[in-house]
Structure formats: C-alpha cells, structure tokens
Amino acid sequence: MKKVMIGDHIVKSFGEGDEKHHVLDGVSAYINEGEFVAVMGPSGSGKSTLLFALSGTDVVDDGKVVFDGRDLTTASENELADIRRTQMGFVFQQPTMLNNLNILDNIILPSLRDNRKNVANITAKARTLMKRVGIAELEKRDITQVSGGQLQRAGICRALMNNPRIIFGDEPTGALNSTSAQEMMDLFSEINAEGTAVMLVTHDANVAARTERIMFMRDGSIVSELQLPKYDGTDMEGRIEHVTVKMREIGI
Amino acid sequence: MYSRIIRNDISKSKLITLTTMIFVAAAAMLVSLAVILVVNLSGAIDTLMKRAETPHFMQMHSGEINTDRLTAFAEQHGNVDEFQVLEFVNMDGARIILGDNSLTHNVQDNGFSMQSDKFDYLLDLDGNVIHVSDGELYVPIHYMRDNTTKVGDKARISGKEFTVAGFLRDSQMNSTLSSSKRFLVSSHDYAVIQNLGTTEYLIEFRLKDLSALGAFETDYASAGLEANGPVITYPLFKTINAISDGMMIGVILLVSVLVVAIALMCIRFTLLAKIEDDYRQIGVMKAMGMRISDMKRMYLAKYAVIAAAGSILGFALSLVFKGMLLENIRLYMGESEHSSSALLYGIIGILLVFLAMMAYINGVLRRFRKISAAEAIRFGNSQGHTAAGAKHLRLSRNRLLNTNVVLGIQDVLARKRLYATMLTVLVISAFIMIVPHNLYSTISSKGFIQYMGIGNYDMRMDIQQTDNISEKAAEVLKKMTSDSAISQYAVLATKSFKVKTLDGTEENIKIELGDHSIFPIAYSQGKAPAAEDEIALSSLNADELGIGVGETMTVVVEGKEEILTVSGIYSDITNGGKTAKAVFPDQSADTMWYVICAELSDPSLINSMVSEYASKFNYAKVSDIDKYIAQTFGSTIRAVHKASYAAILVAIMITVLVTLLFMKMLVAKDRYSIGVMKVLGFTSSDIRAQYVTRSVFVLILGMVLGILLANTLGEMLAGVVISMFGASTFHFAVNPLSAYLLSPLMMIGSVLIATIIGTSGMGHIKISENIKG
C-alpha cells in the first residue's frame, strides 16, 4: 500500500542545556493512503507533538517528514501553508474558529484563499457538508451561539472543504459528551470510508477502537502498534477490549 | 506582592512600558515647562515694569507741543500722580553705525533719549537705573540679541563718536513687536545730536488709581490736548512685553495637551490589551470573590509606577530645558521675583497631569464590572456578539474584494472600541500635519496680502516724521505725474480725527484719505468708500466702535461734526490694525504720514526705480512692495513654514510609533487567531495583508476625519491666531497637492512601514504553541 505520510527518525526537543527535554526521540512513523490511524499514550508522551511534526505545522530538530513524496522539513513556510490548505484538514479539541466570522464564513474561509470568484460553488459545497453533519440551520450563527459538539462538526466541514488527502485530529472528541463523541466518530469513519486518510491523537480507548491501526507512545517513542480490522459497525465491545488489553500489556 | 506583579509585568512588555513612559514624561515636561515659563514671565514683567516705573498712559506726539497746557491738565486732574514729557530724537537708520554695522536696512524706528528723572527709567541688565556719562551710549537689548554690537564697540551717530557702554532694557519698547527702539545718551550729548533728527514727544502719566485708566483716557482725548501719534497704556505695554514669549508658551501648552491626549491613548490601548490578556485570570479572581476595587488596585499600581516615573523624568527634563527657554525672558525682562516658586507651580502642574491620568485609568478599569466570571473562565476572552457593521460584510457574499482585505476590514468593524484608540491618534496626527501646512499655504499665497489691507501695487513710498510733510509729498507727486515709467499712482494721507463713540465720549481715529479705488484691497464686508460721506473701517476699529456696514458714525472734520456712513469693513494688519479709509477733503488736520503707491509700466524695472526715487527723495522710505511684504511678514511666513515642517515630522513620528506599538500589541493579542489562520494554510503574507488592511482602513478613516477637522476646527483656530493681527474673516487657501496628496501619502507610507515592522513578530508565532489539542 502507498504511504502518504512518512516520518523518519524525528527528533524534537524543548528547553535548553540541562533542561533540554526530548519530546520526540527519533520517532519513525507512517500513514498509508486512506488509512485510519490513532496515536495513543499518556499525557506528555509526545502524541500531539508527533501530529504537529507530521503535518508540518511544527519544525523538527532532526529527521525527515515526507508527505506525498515531498520532504516537509526542507519546504518553505509558504509551501507548507499551501500543502496544509489544499491537502490537509485539521480538527482540534477546542474548536479553532475565528470570533468575527459566523459559522458559514468560518467553514468556507480556507477555500476562498485561492478561489474567491467561485464563492457561490464554495458556499453551496459548505451547505451540503453542513447538512450532512446536521448543522444546516446554524450557518448564520455566531460561534458563541452554538454548542461545543456543533462547533466540532463545523470544524469537520471546514477540514473537508478542500478535499484533503489526510485529516489530522488532536483529541477531537475530548471536550464532547459521549453522544456527541459517538456522532463525531461516525463522521470520521464515513470520511475515511470515502478514501481520506485520518490520523487521530487520543487517550480514549473508545475512539482508538474505531481505527484500523494504533500507535502507542511513551516518553517520546512509539513503543508498540496494534492492527485492527476495518470497522464495519459490529463488535465494538470486542475491539475496545482488544485495545485495553494491549494498553495494560505495555503499561499505559 | 504588588511590586513583584508590577516588575514581572513591566519586564514582559518593555517596549510598550517604555513608550508609554516616554509619552508621560514628554507630557509632564511640557506642562511643567509651560507653568514655569508663565510664572517666570509674569514675574519678570512685573519686576521690570515696577523697577522702570512704566507710565500708565503715554501719548506719542510729533509737531508743536504746549507743555504749559499739558502741565495744567495734569495738575487739575485728580487721578494724576506724576507727569512728564520726554523727548525722543528719531534718527534715520543710515546715520547710526554700531561697531561695523550700520542700521540702514533696519526696520525699527530708532531714536535717542536722555534718562528720565521721574519715572519710565531705562534699566541696565542688572535692573538698575542707568546713569550715563558723556560719550557713552546704551543700546537697546534687541541689538545685543541679534549680535549687531557688543559692549566696548565704537558707535557713530551722525558722525559723532560714542562708546557702547552697555545695553538697556526699556519697559516700553523692549519687544521686537514694538516698532520703536530707544537708545540712551547723556543730556549733554543729547543736546548735540538733537538737531540731527526729528523730535517726537512722549507725554507720560502715572496715575494714582490705575483702575480708572479708561476714564483718564477719555478725559485726555476730550481735553483736546496733543494727540498726533498713538496712545499706549499700561495694560498694552504689559501685553506687548508678554506676547512673543506668550505665543511660545501658548504653543507649548497646545502641544502638551496633544501629548497628554496621546499618552492617555497609549495607556488606554495597553490597558485594554492587558485586560484582554488577563481575561481568564480576572474571571477566576472574580469567581474567587475578589473585590473589583482590589483587582483595580493591582492594575492602577502598575500605571501609577509608570506615570510617576514618567512625571519625575519629565520634571527633571523640564529643569534641563527651562534654562534654554527662559534665556529670552531673562535677557529681555530680567530675573523674576518668583523664580523659586515657579518650580513649585511646575510640580503642581505635573501632579495635576498625574492625577488626570490616574482618574482616566480608573475609568478604563470600570470595564472589570462588565466581565462575566463564567464567560471569562469558559472562553478566556471577551465574547459578545459580532458588532453590527461587521455583520453586513460576509465572506459568503463577497465576490469583489480579496479575502484578506475583507477579513481585515471585518476585524476593524467587529472590534471598534479597540481601533477607536488608534483612530483617535491618527486623527490627531492628520490634524497636526495639515493645519500648520494649510496656514502656511494661506499666508504665503498672493491673495493673502490684499486680504491684509495692502493693495496690489509695485512700489510704496512712506513719508513720515519730517517737517513740511505736505510739500514733500507734493514734490514726489510732481515727479510721478511726469514719469512715464509709472502707469498709475495713489496718494494716501493719514490724519488723526476725533470720533464720537456710541456712549458720547470722544476718541482719536486715524483715517487714510485719498482715492482707494486705484489699488483696491479686499473687503470682508461692503465696499471701498466712494462718496464723501462714506468711511471704511478696519475690523478692529469696527469692533471697538461697535458699528457695522450701513451704520453711521460722527467724525469731527474741520471743526464740524460730520455724519459718515460705514461703506465697508476690511482686514488690516498694518498700524496695529486700527485704521480707517475715507475720501472726504480735509485741510485742517495735520497729516501724520503719507503713503504713495505706484504701479510701474514695466514691473521688472522695480529695482532701478526704487533706487532712483530713494536717492532723489531722501526723506521718503521707498520700498519694492514684494520686499516690503517680505520684511513685514517674511519672518512670520518663514517661522510658520518651519513650524509646518516640524509639525509634519512630529505627526509622522507619532503615527509610526503608535502604529508600531498598536500592531505589536494586536499581534500579541491575536496569537490564537494567527495560529488558526496558519493551520488553515494562510501564509504569513496573507496574514500580513490582513493587518495592513486593518491599519490602512483605520488610517483612511482617520485621515478623512482629520482633514474634515483641520478644515473646520483647524481653520477656526488658525483664524483666531490670524485675527490677533487684525484679519477679520479667514479661510484656508489650501494647496490641494500637498494637503490632500502628499500629506496622506506620507501618512500611508509611515503607517505601512510601521505595520510591516510591527507585525514582523507574526512569523515567529508557532501553531503548536497557540492551538492546544
């Protein structure tokens, strides 16, 4: 299978001198085309840092990050921005929305950058996506006038606007109640089923159990991996059991 | 605890703290300087006038004098304390040589006098009454200031040799604005040179009760005593002494008001940004039950430290600069008796500024009340609904503008309160930039001269202070009539007449008689006098007499009361602004002076014509009108020109500094949205374009408001200044190229540069540090 994203011996540290702390200690990881991957680990294990490193949103100290054959560690700021805008989507734990814009404008924002003349088509696409995630009636609302779950769904719409090759999610369900979290995961599964690769960082076994491969991290290294069959809507309890057993086994 | 919080806070925002402190220091310095100068100036003038025993009422007079009649008047009048008539020999500048310099081209009327023995003393630089010996000459301080001469120089007055023994302060004629200057010689030497010039008399009174000065003036005028010359009273002497330094103090005060405003603006937006930064913390403190007054105290403490440090620095600076600015006052007026208390007043002035700042900060901190603890803890920043203006600007409806431009404008509309601060500063900057510039274009424009009471001719001859003045004027006219090089001329004779005022008292008025239609001036109301029963008044005279166009006034002509109708009112800055024009014939009154104006057939010959007439008629002062204007207004025009450049520089500095600060703060405040933009794939140049749009949008608003304000309020302020010189109506003659193109371009340029530098920190904002998973 073709690897869309490869991280090769990535080193990332914070602090200086004696206080220097390796958050990523020569981590190698990959994501296949259309794959649904999760990264698990305790707080401070380097999960989020790995996500920022792989997506080119943070500069690494050493190692290589290759996306679709392009080395991101040597790419310019502008090239990185172009790649993020056209080929990647992001969903974070806290909804990253701009205060001044209403929901619809927030969703279409990244698409307008290159295609302002086409605003009618872009808006139409956004409305279709909003309908699909169930927030069609909220387009004119300010971001302070909707719930956290609704905002996260708007975030997914925004991530999907430019038909990305991969979506990165950093604890996307972390701030949601279980029903909303469930619905979010259904959405991710649907998107993945349509061929978009998804990489989620989570410490929730229920979330990780939806994916097909889980990387476990501790102290800046990937200590283990767990392969699962593609989720088909059945045997969720068995999958969760699998994940928790593995977590216990490696002491996470 | 406070000191630790304050120290941490200051070390985190060094640049902003420093800038705020500099503005506070500048404001404190200017206020303190203005106060110190006012106290010293008024003190010095009081001391000078007390020591010199300046007359309360002085009538200048040339021609015959009847001293017995004057003495009788003084003895009979109950309010006269002392009375004297001083002689004053007016000498042509060409006859006065000080050291190596001749006063030929000097615009002052120079004269010689003896020391008085009763009052109106001429003082030395230590404030003592000068006792002059034969052969010694004391020179007005004015000529020390402009380095014309120095002590020990040889001087030649009409060939007689003197030694410059020192300089003198003259409580009447010290100021450069007073057109006469008195030199002091011994009575023996005075007798020698007396016949070499024309004698003028200073008829001087000291009154027992100065408050009854108005009544005394009326009594003098109605007694029909000597009155061939201007009257100057004690309050006017005081004003003349104060005016040039007073103007400087006025400018300092005006600038200090603006700087205080800018300091407050700086404090306002640093404070608002800080509150925004600390939003969550404030919410937490509120939730914990901390009192608003306690929280306020923490913020107030920090600004109290900055304001106190700035004020102390400002006071220290004012002590450094005070000597420089006081130099002129000390030189012309001498030491003040209150110089030590001036510092105390300076401190009080600074204290007031400090208290005003604290009150203002306290006002800004009222926002704490509006912060909802729950919202602050949940969102970490102020939420609220998007402002009305921003709602109309939707990305989904925009096809025209670049997305970054829309985002920029939308941000300004959504956070109006935040940008209002920057807007205010830019409005002030535009105002500072445009008003002095417009004032300069106005007073340097050709039309301004007619507006100031001077017609459009090429050559002007002044005949004054000479015997047989009418014959001399006739002699000049005879030559002009036959001179083919002169295409037109007009003779204007100025005579003094008595006018009956509305309350029945009599006043003297100078009327310029002749044909006023040959070289017309601009009338602000009405037209030039054409019939014999018409008169035009300068605006100052019209104001003082309380009459307008179409109304009548009574003038005593050849012993008879004539009713004249006011045909027009004009602006005049010549002869103190109090003039009148009429065409009636009069044979009785003495002519005080003649002005003969001429237009040349070939204006390029002006230089040779001036020298021809000057050598032929040596009693007349012949001037090329352009040179006359340059001499009369040149220094004012140059000063305003310089001031307008300085204003542009100050405005640009303020604009750059404030925009820079503001942008730096915005970037710090907007770290999160910048992170969001970046993660969505907006490049640094995209984001910079948004910030440039914000500042340019605010700038354009600011400039439009600034230009509007400059042309309304600014024009009014400039009008007030100009009216002091006697101009009644005032409108800016704007040079559109510089006012509406160059100035805005300069501002746009500085705002762009400041925005680009101010937002350069944006590149270092890391997505991973500002967006938490």
Interface confidence, given as ipTM, is: 0.86
pLDDT digits (tens, 9 = 90+) for A175-196: 788 888 888 899 899 999 999 9
DSSP A102: B
Point out the least confidently predicted range of A2-6, B227-231, B363-367: B227-231
Nearest to A100 among B386, B677, B773 (CB): B386
Distance from C-alpha of A193 to C-alpha of B82, rounded to nearest angstrom: 114
pLDDT of residue B729: 62
The distance of B686 to chain A (nearest Cα, Å) reads 9
State whether B768 and A58 contact (CB < 8 Å): yes
State whether A77 and B684 contact (CB < 8 Å): yes
The distance of A91 to chain B (nearest Cα, Å) reads 9
Name which of B676, B396, B764 is nearest A84 in CA terms.
Answer: B676
Q: Does residue B129 contact residue B115 with C-beta atoms inside 8 Å?
A: yes
Distance from C-alpha of B150 to C-alpha of B154, rounded to nearest angstrom: 9
Distance from C-alpha of B126 to C-alpha of B116, rounded to nearest angstrom: 18
Q: How high does pLDDT run on average in chain B?
A: 83
Point out the least confidently predicted range of B76-85, B211-220, B466-475: B466-475
Distance from C-alpha of B470 to C-alpha of B476, rounded to nearest angstrom: 10
The distance of A43 to chain B (nearest Cα, Å) reads 12
State whether A96 and B683 contact (CB < 8 Å): no
State whether B680 and A117 contact (CB < 8 Å): no
Residue A60 corresponds to which tokens in the numbers above? 């690494």
Residue of A nearest to B408 (CA): A100
Distance from C-alpha of B193 to C-alpha of B221, rounded to nearest angstrom: 32
Residues A178-184: contacts with CB under 8 Å, at least 24 apart: A180/A148, A180/A149, A180/A152, A181/A206, A181/A207, A183/A134, A183/A149, A183/A153, A184/A149, A184/A152, A184/A153, A184/A156
pLDDT of residue B2: 63
Q: A169 versus B302: which is more confidently predicted?
A: A169
Q: Is B53 exposed, middle or buried (0-12, 13-18, 19+ CB in 10 A)?
A: middle
Residue of B nearest to A120 (CA): B396
pLDDT of residue B107: 60
DSSP string, B574-621: GGGG--EEE----SSSPEEEEEEEEEESSGGGHHHHHHHHHHH-TTSE
pLDDT band at B385 (very low <50, low <70, confident <90, very high): very low
Residues 343-382 of B with CB under 8 A from A: 379, 381
pLDDT digits (tens, 9 = 90+) for B214-239: 889 889 988 888 888 778 888 888 87
pLDDT digits (tens, 9 = 90+) for A69-128: 999 999 988 899 899 999 999 998 877 888 888 899 999 988 888 777 788 889 999 999
For range B23-30, the mean pLDDT: 88
pLDDT of residue A211: 95
pLDDT digits (tens, 9 = 90+) for B573-614: 666 567 899 998 888 777 878 889 999 998 888 888 888 998
Q: Does residue B490 contact residue B613 with C-beta atoms inside 8 Å?
A: no
For range A50-55, the mean pLDDT: 92
Residue of B nearest to A49 (CA): B768
Instruction: State the count of interchain CB pairs (< 8 A) between A and B.
Output: 112
Task: Considering only CA atoms, give the Rg of chain B.
Answer: 33
DSSP string, B8-53: HHHHHTHHHHHHHHHHHHHHHHHHHHHHHHHHHHHHHHHHHHHHHT
For range B298-310, the mean pLDDT: 88
Name which of B174, B237, B231 is nearest B203 in CA terms.
Answer: B231
Distance from C-alpha of B108 to C-alpha of B245, rounded to nearest angstrom: 20
Nearest to A81 among B379, B396, B682 (CB): B682
State whether B396 and A105 contact (CB < 8 Å): yes
For range B546-572, the mean pLDDT: 88
pLDDT of residue B83: 94
Alpha helices in B80-186 (DSSP H): 142-145
State whether B675 and A142 contact (CB < 8 Å): no
List the beta strands (DSSP E) in A143-242: 166-170, 197-201, 213-218, 221-227
